[in-house]
Amino acid sequence: MRAKRLVVAATSAAILASGLVLATGPAQAATNFCTVQNLQQAGGMDALVKAAKAEKELNIITVPRDWANYGEAIDLFSKAFGIKINDDNPEGSSAYEIQTIKTAPASKQPDVVDIGVSVLPDALGIGRKALFAPYKVATWNDIPSEWKDSNGLWYGDYYGLMAISYDASLPKAPTSIKALLTDPAFKGAFALSGDPTGSQQALMGLFAIAAANGGSATNIMPGIEALKAAKAAGNFVSVIGNSANYAAGAYKATITWDFNGPGAIASSAAAGKPLKFVIPSDVALQGTPYLQAINTKAPHCAAARLWEEFLYSQNIGKGSREFDAADAKLSGSKIFKMIMGGQNIWVAGAAHPITEAAMIKKKTIVNAPEGFAVPKTAKRVAPSPDQQADQKAIVVTEWPKL
Amino acid sequence: MDSESHRKMADTMRKNLASNLVLIVAGMFLFFPLYAAAEFSLRNGADKTHGFAAYRWIFEQSGFAENIGITFRVTLLAVLLNLLIMVPTVTWLHLSGQRYKRVVEILTILPLIIPVVALATGAQLAMPEFMQNSVYELSFFYVVVAMPYTYRALDIGLSAHPLATLTNAARSLGASWLKTFTTVVAPTIRPSILAALFLMVALSLGEFTLAQLLHWSTFPVWVTNVSQQNIVGATALAIGSLFFAWILLFAFSFIGKKNSTIVTEEE
Amino acid sequence: MKQSTTNNVDVKGALANKGAFHGFFSPSPLPLLPLSLFFLIFFLWPIGALTGNAFKSNEGAFTFSNITMLFQDPYRLAFKNSITLGLISGLVGAIPGLAIAMAIEKQGSQTLKKFIASISGVLANTGGVPLAFMFLAAFGPAGLVISALKSVGIDLYGLGFTLFSFTGLVIVYAYFQIPIMVIVVTPALSSLRKEWKDSAANLGASKFQYWKKVGLPILMPSFFACYLLLFASAFSAFATARALTVGNIALVPLQIGSLVDGNVTINQANLGYALAFGMIVISLIAMIPYIWIQNRTAKWQTR
């Protein structure tokens, strides 16, 4: 009797088990999203979105909300896919991103990074494994070849131009860098956006000042000399040109990335100060593009890849304010098609997305905000990473002697 | 004699004038920056009116409850650790361990002179993974960082009373250990314990660098990040916290002495 | 710090009577174990790891090169500036701090003492961006005080005053240095017994003679110890310096920030750790006289 029961039980169990196996069938060969290198390997957009949603979170790092309109990208992505985005140290530097990858425990690892070119050698690591996982987004071919790794380890995302940001209450609008530093009307007005021995943006500002005063991408010393003279004349205030000091009235004008414009103008208005942006008429300093990459130790692999697809999407569609709950119920690929792509979100933030040229050809680009046009008289200067490296050494020794 | 007392009176007035002047000048120096920042924090934006809108701002941000909760739990553990480790050790040092006092004093000064950046970097290099995965690692580091202050608060408080004599006296009068502890030791050291715990809480509520570098989102870290978008709100928060902390400290200084059952020399 | 002279006598007597201090109150150092372990794991171990990295090259090999770089510009300049800032800011905090503490002692009112104590406790902890903002809002180019003075014809910035200089930094640092001084020097002042002053007066000494022969000699060591504390505080201050300068004044904490977390000099984190190590060494050197003095003056601060 007992033996019979056992046999029945065993057989039922076997049938059940095989049934389960059959039912789950193909999904048993589950995709390991941590090794997926493009959308095909992921099984299509629907599969990618499904896996990303299951991961529920995305870790990003050192992304200020008002930097190149990233705030909108974060809000839209979270809303559309129901994924919570954790931003570690929004005001941190690219070096902080790489340090974090190297030293943080598994749960604190960022999924993706947005770094400056200067930290790339350290990240790629000569003689040891690179820190990044290869991935090629759907719009890969639209990225210029000099700004992407052939294996897909890193890829440029956007670049900016140096613009003058100034308080509208100044007696007249500063239209050129040279005037800003020498005109007595701007006494006590100009501050550098940061410490050029630590801040990439401030370093590029110094390059712009150099180019406006007889220097170039290979000669930054005239920039330091010009600031010395400006300090003596009283135009240069030796304080960091950030929003707090601006609100306190410590300075009235600085040189900063144009893609910081829309965010800065909005938050200054909230504090009751009228901030304006203009590209200088003497020098249009073009920065090297920032770079995106996926961390090999990413804790949320599918979400990381979905985020990259999102950032490189050239779609024109709904923003975070227009997207509603009904839209969220659609399938993954449908949602992806109907939301604004990252490249266009950056355009709205006055940044220049990396696939700009292709987007203009395909006519998939939205209009840039008003007031950021490049004057025809402006000399284009674009210091390459090597040129920057050379001049940095001079800055580190000469700047503390200002 | 009249000229003598006259001279004494004039002398006293001159002395008081000098000390009053010092206090007035110091007061002005300390007052103006506070006033200027407070005025800024009360502004209502583009229009020139004033109001308390900025003071409500931080409470209205999503993430307020979550992050205050995290800091609350970290602080609670830090306070418990202090009670379990610092208080018994310092009490013991005063009662039986005088010879080790000097060494402990020197050790507890060390966290003061080590930059917190160094501690954070070292922590990431040294600590095992399982410790770094829990936000409560912060509690342990906070106890260390607060040690110079908590040790001194306990030390000064305990030195103010001849604890060994009192304990000895109670014991020789026949009191049991429990009675000695509850009626002699505990009331004596309670104000110092409270002071040390208060320092611990103050540090935990304001500590930013260590939490940030160890990639944790605590209340101070969250506040700093959110404040980037709103300078007026950030200033209101800074001024508000200063004011709140001062009120607490001031009120606290009145409570401290009242409950002491030991008669001491008035300072 | 404070030590009762009666303690030692009683402890000896109590120790002789084993019954008095039994169990928990034992003379062996075992009760120090929890604290020592704690200190070892959560302080000495991380600092040791950091110090180790100061002597490593980027490839991991042992090297002195990071340390030797400390003796070259701009790092040498930074150490010079930081030490100078510490020394000067220490004085600017110590002397007014002492004056305020003495003034309060003279006033005698308990409420005033509690008021000052609580305010000092709060202000001693201000710093960084909030403090810089407060000063900019009051004494910055568009500050309330500056604008008020301008409206009556006094243009301070025109006359050369500025917050964005070494002097400006010293002025802002004073905001937390003075309260620190008030807090740490008050116990020393209150240990100057009133009886000594009265006895001196009774024996015919004038105020000046009292201070010259009795007051100052007793106070000096404590004053110096507190000054050293202020030095360490100004020497290692980071956030405030960063909020008020733009790298034009080389300071060690700022350089550590640029090296370890900056975007310009990359891959020189170990040099940053070496700078931190240098800072620790200098602070330790400043603390040794402090500890020695505190031990010596403990006698005078008994009750």
**Residues from chain C contacting residue B32 (CB–CB below 8 Å):** 138-139, 144-145
| Predicted interface score ipTM higher than 0.90 | no
**Are B217 and A86 within 8 A, CB to CB?**
yes
Which amino acid does the sequence have at C85? L
To the nearest whole Å, the CA of A238 is away from the closest chain C CA by 6
**In this structure, what DSSP letter does residue A257 have?**
E
**Are C265 and A197 within 8 A, CB to CB?**
yes
Residues C282-296: tens digit of each pLDDT:
888 888 887 777 777
By Cβ distance, the residue of B26, B164, B265 closest to C10 is B164
Nearest CA in chain B to C2: B159
Contacts of B236 (CB under 8 A, 6+ apart): B41, B42, B54, B55, B57, B58
**Are B231 and A90 within 8 A, CB to CB?**
no
The 3-state DSSP composition of chain B as helix, strand, coil percent (nearest 5) reads: 80, 0, 20
Q: Which residues of C22-51 are buried (b: 16+ CB within 10 A; e: fewer)?
A: eeebbeeeebbeebbebbeebbbbbbebbb
- Which pLDDT does position B267 carry in this prediction? 34
Tell me the count of A-C CB pairs closer than 8 A. Answer: 125
Distance CA B247, CA B262 (A): 27
**Are A402 and C164 within 8 A, CB to CB?**
no
C26 has pLDDT over 80: no
Tell me the count of A-B CB pairs closer than 8 A. Answer: 55
Any C CB within 8 A of A272 CB: no
What 3-state DSSP class applies to A75?
Answer: helix
Mutation to test the A interface, candidates C135, C263, C265, C268, most A Cβ within 10 Å: C263
- For the residues B10-28, what does the mean pLDDT come to? 78
Distance CA A285, CA C238 (A): 32
- For the residues B100-123, what does the mean pLDDT come to? 80
CA gyration radius for chain B?
A: 24
Any C CB within 8 A of B135 CB: no
Mutation to test the C interface, candidates A98, A235, A239, most C Cβ within 10 Å: A239
Phi first, then psi, for residue B95 (nearest 5°) are: -85, -45
Residues C58-69: tens digit of each pLDDT:
777 888 888 888
**Are B133 and A107 within 8 A, CB to CB?**
yes
Any A CB within 8 A of B45 CB: yes
Nearest CA in chain A to B232: A271
Any C CB within 8 A of B155 CB: yes
Q: What percent of chain C has pLDDT over 90?
A: 16
To the nearest whole Å, the CA of C275 is away from the closest chain B CA by 10
C250 has pLDDT over 50: yes
Mutation to test the C interface, candidates B7, B31, B86, B113, most C Cβ within 10 Å: B113
**Are C133 and B37 within 8 A, CB to CB?**
yes
Tokens (6 digits) for A79: 């809303």
**Residues from chain A contacting residue B228 (CB–CB below 8 Å):** 64-66, 90-91, 243
**Are A91 and B225 within 8 A, CB to CB?**
yes
By Cβ distance, the residue of A86, A87, A272 closest to B46 is A272
- Residue A172's CB: how many other CB atoms inside 10 A? 10
Residues B237-249: tens digit of each pLDDT:
888 888 888 888 8
The tokens 């923003």 sit on which residue? A319
Nearest CA in chain B to C7: B164
**Residues from chain B contacting residue C93 (CB–CB below 8 Å):** none
Residues C95-134: tens digit of each pLDDT:
999 989 888 887 778 888 888 888 888 888 787 888 888 9
Any C CB within 8 A of B100 CB: yes
Any C CB within 8 A of B26 CB: yes
**In this structure, what DSSP letter does residue C165 have?**
S
What 3-state DSSP class applies to A161?
Answer: strand
Nearest CA in chain C to A115: C263
Q: Which of A401, A240, A206, A221 is nearest to C76 (CA)?
A: A401
**Residues from chain A contacting residue B231 (CB–CB below 8 Å):** 243-244, 247, 267, 271
**Are C73 and A397 within 8 A, CB to CB?**
yes
Per DSSP (E only), the strands in A125-171 are: 132-133, 155-156, 158-159, 162-167
C6 has pLDDT over 50: no
To the nearest whole Å, the CA of C12 is away from the closest chain A CA by 52
To the nearest whole Å, the CA of C255 is away from the closest chain A CA by 8
Tokens (6 digits) for C69: 């770089």
Phi first, then psi, for residue A61 (nearest 5°) are: -145, 145
Question: For residue C5, what pLDDT band results from cuts at 50, 70 and 90?
Answer: very low
Tokens (6 digits) for A225: 């000399």
**Residues from chain B contacting residue C46 (CB–CB below 8 Å):** 118-119, 121-123, 125-127
Residue ranges of chain A with per-residue pLDDT less than 50: 17-28
Highest mean pLDDT range out of A54-68, B75-89, B111-125, C219-233?
A54-68
Which amino acid does the sequence have at B173? L
Contacts of A290 (CB under 8 A, 6+ apart): A114, A115, A116, A117, A156, A157, A158, A159
What 3-state DSSP class applies to A47?
Answer: helix
Residues A31-82: tens digit of each pLDDT:
899 999 999 999 999 999 999 999 999 999 999 998 999 999 999 999 999 9
- Which pLDDT does position A7 carry in this prediction? 55
Any A CB within 8 A of B134 CB: no
**Residues from chain C contacting residue B141 (CB–CB below 8 Å):** 42
Mutation to test the A interface, candidates C163, C258, C264, most A Cβ within 10 Å: C264
**Are C257 and A94 within 8 A, CB to CB?**
no
C18 has pLDDT over 50: no
Identify whether A274 is preceded by a cis peptide bond (ω within 30 of 0). no
Nearest CA in chain C to A194: C246
- Which pLDDT does position A281 carry in this prediction? 94
- For the residues B23-38, what does the mean pLDDT come to? 89
**Are C260 and B117 within 8 A, CB to CB?**
yes
Any C CB within 8 A of A124 CB: no
- Residue B31's CB: how many other CB atoms inside 10 A? 11
B9 has pLDDT over 80: no
What mean pLDDT value characterizes chain B? 81
Question: For residue B44, what pLDDT band results from cuts at 50, 70 and 90?
Answer: confident
Distance CA A27, CA A366 (A): 40
Any B CB within 8 A of A28 CB: no
- Which pLDDT does position C118 carry in this prediction? 85
Distance CA C108, CA A74 (A): 59
Q: Which of B64, B87, B68, B65 is nearest to B76 (CA)?
A: B68
By Cβ distance, the residue of B45, B125, B133 closest to A271 is B45
Note the pTM of the prediction, 2 decimals. 0.81
- Which pLDDT does position B237 carry in this prediction? 87
Chains in contact with A, where contact means 3 or more Cβ–Cβ distances below 8 Å, are B, C
**Residues from chain C contacting residue B98 (CB–CB below 8 Å):** 3, 7-8, 11
**CA-to-CA dists, residue A248 to B33, C132, C142, C208, C244, angstroms:** 12, 10, 7, 47, 12
**Residues from chain B contacting residue C145 (CB–CB below 8 Å):** 32, 36
